[in-house]
Structure 1
Amino acid sequence: MDDNPITNSDAKRPLKERLLNSQIVACIAGSVILFCSFGIRQTFGVFLIPVTKSTGWDRSTVSIAAGLFQLFWGLSQPFVVYFAERKWGFGKCIFFASACYAAGLFILYASNKSSGLFIFAYAVIVGISAAGNSFPVILATIGRRFPQQSKQQAIAFGLVSSSGSFGQVVFLPIARVMVVAIDWQLSFVVLGSIMVVVLPLCFFLQSVPAKPPLTAATVEKEELLDDKKVVIQVEENNKIQPEEPITEDTFSAPDIKTALKEAFTSPIYIMICLGFSVCGFHVSFLATHLPAYLQDQGIDPSLAAWTMSILGAGSVIGSIATGFITNYLSPRLCLTLLYLIRAILFIIFIFIPISMTTVMIFSCLFGFFWLSTVPLTTKFIGDVFGHRYLGTLTSIAFIGHQIGAFLGAYVGGLIFDKTHSYMSLWYASLALAVFAVVANFFAGEDPINFKRRGL
């Protein structure tokens, strides 16, 4: 979609072109795919105890599958985004990854006799495939359809990111019901079939040219044209034109080499990655071990599964809210406050006796900050380093997130098998939350003007 005002000529475009450039259609397609893919992978904690009881494996064996899944997901993310941005295009990458994702879930059906096959299918096949239909790829292709650093783009990031949390709300109780009704093996077949159904939506997420940022001399004004309400861009008469035109090249690196050099030598980017890794530890630890931890504390398994759904429900609201809040507060300050509140919630959860009431309250409150880091981190990186290589830079930051996720999933199971307690992991989560507060608070946030620096 070009940057000109909406006119009747847009209606004369071929339907295929209008669909590919449509902001609404892309947001819907991306939301549905994230809803299914993220919702399914968040159900793994529900399978932990059924799988160990059925196969006789210990928790560390199943936890290593969850941990390696997070690691393969993160390490493969930059390569997948590279092919999406520079080779195949976003649509083809999302389609191929989703198809392999479904295949990995089907293979899990036959893995009950071999822990090696279970680990390979879930960690390697599903893990690498998850890199192709997760937040960095889908948000990167959707972000191209909006003006860079615009309010609409921030809101779109929040809305689409919230669909992943909503998938967690829906799929966790469904997975619990399926495990009881048809066993864990057939449950994976059903989940794989769902991924096959959403494959056609990848067509609407194909690559389009990125829209440049709006100039400071434009405002939105609603007018009626040919009896249709349209939004046009008009220049304010009382504003002075900027000294140099603002284009995509102003706040985006001219090539991938420059983008990577600037990011890896920037304290801002390093702080973002460190803070994001803490989020990975928190989310993976809770998603993998919270249901089992609650069952160990005497909470009914069905209710334990519902706590994860409540976390997801809160995250839907939190992800949407952050899209609006970043129009008034910078992503840096939002992330600082987010991790501070997480730390306070961990303190309360550790020192208050466990009951169904305290668990539900913790889930409701913590849910608001569950995946809210994703749109905030994406916008933080885009505001500082531009959007031309946003997918690549976000995916590299996502490696840190997934390294933290690996530790949260695997170390949780390893420590439990040795100590029969998760308490040390709760203290570690608290300490890491405090670390993330410091990392984000002291990170800078000034955008890099690549043109002015001659890059």
Structure 2
Amino acid sequence: MEINSSNATIIDDTIRELSLKERLLKSQLMSCIAGSIILCCSFGIRQTVGVFLIPITKSTGWDRSTFSIAAGLFQLFWGFSQPFVVYFAERKWGFGKCICVSCAIYAAGLFLLYGSGQSAGLFIFAYAIVVGTAAGGNSFPVILASIGRRFPQKSKQQAVAFGLVSSFGSFGQVIFLPIARVMVVEIDWRMSFVVLGAIVALTIPLSYFLQTIPPIPALPPTVVDQTELLDDKVPDTDMDEKKTTDLEKNQKDDFSAPDIKTALKEAFSSPIFIMISLGFSVCGFHVSFLATHLPAYLQDQGIDPSLAAWTMSILGAGSMIGSIATGYITNYVSPRLCLTVLYLARAILFVIFIFIPVSLTTVMVFSCLFGFLWLSTVPLTTKFIGDVFGHRYLGTLTSISFVGHQIGAFLGAYVGGVIFDKTHSYMSLWYTSLALAVFAVVANFFAGEEPVNMRRRGLEP
């Protein structure tokens, strides 16, 4: 279609009328960049906890159970704060303000750790309660829910964005693990927390690009060229009827609950949501156990401390690739099947790692392969919940499932320390991780994936 000079002028005027502020707030690119950097710093720093275990316990004389209770409670406060933060983000303050405040409190908690050297209580308060609670406001559910509003719902672009942004949490793990190890050696663990807090504080301005905007609805099957709206010809009746039909179908495709109360009722009464959350809790156990205790376990096995830190970085590097790949794969394979295969692969790797003698080679191979599965559950679980329950309250529902993830994370961090202090071995934890991986395979495979209550709303699945 040719556009005359008058129509072209109208388009140019419309573009100019959109202020710079509005363009920035609605920018898909800027939101992805901001979310990626915040996740990179916040998640990368919290994954360094294992690097600090032996230096802190040696410096203070605490046993590993004391350190592990702080690491475990951190996971709980992180998990339980998420639904409340997302509620305020979706219903009260908006995503930008919640992320801004959370980053500020997160940094303050890390600063507070500087003075906790001789007080286990202060260390637990600063790390578990202050930093853990703040972590709920700059983590995956909040960041991804904000970014997801800038893409057409249930679109390929949204799925890829979820995977790409999630991968930067893993990238943070890649860069901050070796950095933390060097800082612990060069400037002591107390000053290391101060530097890490300053890095988090620098991310606060990025929350501007993650402010709440109305979500973009799903695209209809046929997208009509917008320039046709400026055409001064008589509207085509057949085309108008087709556009109306497409819009009606698009509205039917939105099977989200009409309000938050209904969304919560559907989720808690749905076996699918329960199965998703149980499987996600297994992921929390695995990630927290490895992040907290793998470096110490490897040092106990005679692996150099610097190399032990690098194994966690390798896990993060593999996770970057895995998160991006799974975000893309879910456009063609259901997230339920992807999660089933993912946990099956974890089970196989645990079997191999348990029964093959520990060496630098086996550790590096394990880290490379397990890295692909490390955080790949995040975009998969987010899309799984969105496909079943809709996207209107996706942030709230994913944050609730994340509570299950963090309960598992608490057990992985805390129980690992307790069992080591009693048995001086982590072997029973490796067997537990294997059993839980098998459980997650079963939970996800039998979860089902049909959108909830579509028939009750007069829709066909």
TM-score class, shorter-chain normalisation, is over 0.9
Post-superposition offset of 1:252: 1.0
Select 1:156's aligned residue among 153, 158, 161.
161
Whether the aligned pair in 1 keeps the contact of 2:220 and 2:247 (CA below 8 Å) is no
Post-superposition offset of 1:213: 1.1
Residue matched to 2:257: 253
Q: Indicate the structure with greater helix content.
A: 2
Residue matched to 1:430: 434
Is 1:265 paired with 2:290? no
Letter in 1 for 2:321: I
Q: Which entry has the higher C-alpha Rg, 1 or 2?
A: 2
Q: Deviations over 1:131-167 (max 9, x none)?
A: 0000000000000111111100000000000000000
Distance 2:441 2:121 in 1: 39
Root mean square deviation, CA, Å: 2.2
Letter in 1 for 2:87: Y
Matches within 5 A, 1:165-180: 165-180=170-185
Post-superposition offset of 1:121: 0.2
Q: Deviations over 1:333-356 (max 9, x none)?
A: 100000000000000000000000
Percent sequence identity is: 78
Mark the runs of 5 or more structure 1 residues left unpaired by the alignment. 1-5, 224-234
Matches within 5 A, 1:219-258: 241=245, 244-247=248-251, 250-258=254-262
Residue matched to 1:413: 417
Is 1:211 paired with 2:213? no
Query: What is the DSSP-based 3-state SS (H/G/I as helix, E as strand, rest coil) of the residue aligned with 1:369?
Result: coil
Letter in 2 for 1:58: D
Query: What is the DSSP-based 3-state SS (H/G/I as helix, E as strand, rest coil) of the residue aligned with 1:209?
Result: coil
- Residues 195 and 345 of structure 1: is their aligned pair in 2 closer, same or farther, counting only changes over 3 Å? same
Distance 2:117 2:136 in 1: 25
Letter in 2 for 1:206: Q
Residue matched to 2:446: 442
Query: What is the DSSP-based 3-state SS (H/G/I as helix, E as strand, rest coil) of the residue aligned with 1:284?
Result: helix
Is 1:195 paired with 2:200? yes
Query: What is the DSSP-based 3-state SS (H/G/I as helix, E as strand, rest coil) of the residue aligned with 1:146?
Result: coil
Select 2:396's aligned residue among 373, 392, 395.
392
Post-superposition offset of 1:113: 1.1
Post-superposition offset of 1:216: 2.5
Post-superposition offset of 1:453: 1.5
Distance 1:196 1:243 in 2: 44
Whether the aligned pair in 1 keeps the contact of 2:44 and 2:173 (CA below 8 Å) is yes
Post-superposition offset of 1:249: 8.0
- What is the TM-score normalised by the length of structure 2? 0.92
Distance 1:330 1:190 in 2: 42
Query: Aligned residue pairs: how many?
Result: 438
Query: What is the DSSP-based 3-state SS (H/G/I as helix, E as strand, rest coil) of the residue aligned with 1:126?
Result: helix
Distance 1:429 1:113 in 2: 34
Distance 2:133 2:313 in 1: 25
Indicate the larger mover: 309-318 or 248-257.
Answer: 248-257
Q: Which runs of 4+ in 1 moved over 3 A?
A: 235-245, 448-452
Residue matched to 2:5: none
Distance 1:298 1:269 in 2: 43
Whether the aligned pair in 1 keeps the contact of 2:49 and 2:292 (CA below 8 Å) is yes
Residue matched to 1:228: none
Letter in 2 for 1:409: A
Residue matched to 1:363: 367
Indicate the larger mover: 429-438 or 250-259.
Answer: 250-259
Q: Deviations over 1:8-63 (max 9, x none)?
A: 42343000010000000000000000000000000000000000000000000000
Letter in 1 for 2:89: A
Post-superposition offset of 1:69: 0.1
